[in-house]
């Protein structure tokens, strides 16, 4: 009979759970997604400023917190012999993971906003409707404003999207569509010059 080793064998290095690996990939890909999709998202302008920021921040926060809790569960917790898991430890893990995931969730919400804008506009079911706005020039940048929008809201358009023959005060006819994520976006803009 072979002698038993003294003490308990030390556990091997804890691997990252699959959910934690996915969360790390999301964090690593967020700057790439922002710079790759920022110019394309200009084609899917929404009528709500930062429409996806806070909802996506909440989703990313809970997702990253769940990934952090899964990772902390894999880490060995020192306990006295015969002592079971404490409910206070589980609560503190969840609270710590939620607290630590907050800044990462805010950064992911900002960096993934162009991608969410594209998804909202690219897969938009339903019919379109028409709205109107006035062209204004704010510091050599043409913007669209409407009396029916909030006072501080404006849609910035590039000079390439506005013909040179269209002066300030012209009428812009907007073709609006409801996006897949529920946010109204501008499908097309036609300008009419007042003479």
Main-chain phi, psi angles of 68, to 5 degrees = -65, -40
Model-wide pTM > 0.85: no
The tens digit of pLDDT for each residue in 56-105 reads 999 999 999 999 888 888 766 655 555 555 666 677 888 888 899 999 99
Enumerate the H helices of the chain as residue ranges.
Answer: 18-37, 53-74, 87-111, 113-122
Contact 109, 54 (CB under 8 A): yes
45 or 109, higher pLDDT: 109
Residue 112 clears pLDDT 90, i.e. is over it: yes
The tens digit of pLDDT for each residue in 4-40 reads 555 555 555 557 788 889 999 999 999 999 999 998 9
The tens digit of pLDDT for each residue in 124-159 reads 777 889 999 988 887 777 889 998 888 888 888 876
Please name which of 27, 51, 26 lies closest in space to residue 41, comparing C-alpha atoms: 51
Residue 165 clears pLDDT 90, i.e. is over it: no
Strand-pair category, 141-145 with 128-138: antiparallel
Structural domains of the chain, ranges and CATH numbers in brackets: 18-77+85-121 (no CATH), 125-192 (2.40.50)
Q: Please list, in sequence order, all residues whose beta carbon lies within 8 angstroms of the beta carbon of residue 86, skipping any fewer than 6 positions away.
A: none
DSSP reduced 3-state for 28: helix
Contact 47, 186 (CB under 8 A): yes
Contact 113, 50 (CB under 8 A): yes
Instruction: Please give the Cα distance from 123 to 118 (Å, whole number).
Output: 8
* pLDDT at 96 (0 to 100): 86
Q: Please list, in sequence order, all residues whose beta carbon lies within 8 angstroms of the beta carbon of residue 9, skipping any fewer than 6 positions away.
A: none
């Amino acid at each position: 009979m072979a002698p038993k080793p003294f003490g308990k064998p030390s556990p091997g290095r804890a691997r990252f759970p699959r959910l934690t690996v996915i969360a790390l990939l999301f964090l690593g890909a967020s700057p790439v997604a922002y710079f790759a999709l920022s110019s394309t998202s200009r084609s899917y302008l929404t009528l709500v400023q930062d429409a996806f920021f806070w909802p996506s921040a909440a989703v990313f926060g809970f997702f990253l917190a769940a990934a952090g809790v899964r990772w902390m569960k894999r880490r060995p917790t020192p306990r006295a012999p015969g002592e079971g898991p404490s409910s206070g430890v589980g609560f503190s893990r969840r609270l710590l993971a939620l607290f630590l995931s907050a800044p990462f969730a805010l950064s992911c919400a900002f960096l993934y906003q162009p991608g969410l804008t594209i998804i909202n506009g690219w897969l938009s079911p339903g019919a379109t409707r028409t709205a109107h706005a006035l062209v204004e020039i704010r510091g050599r940048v043409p913007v669209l404003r409407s009396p029916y929008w909030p006072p501080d809201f404006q849609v910035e358009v590039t000079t390439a999207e506005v013909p040179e023959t269209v002066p300030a005060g012209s009428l812009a006819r907007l073709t609006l569509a409801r996006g897949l994520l529920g946010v109204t976006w501008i499908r097309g803009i036609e300008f009419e010059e007042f003479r």
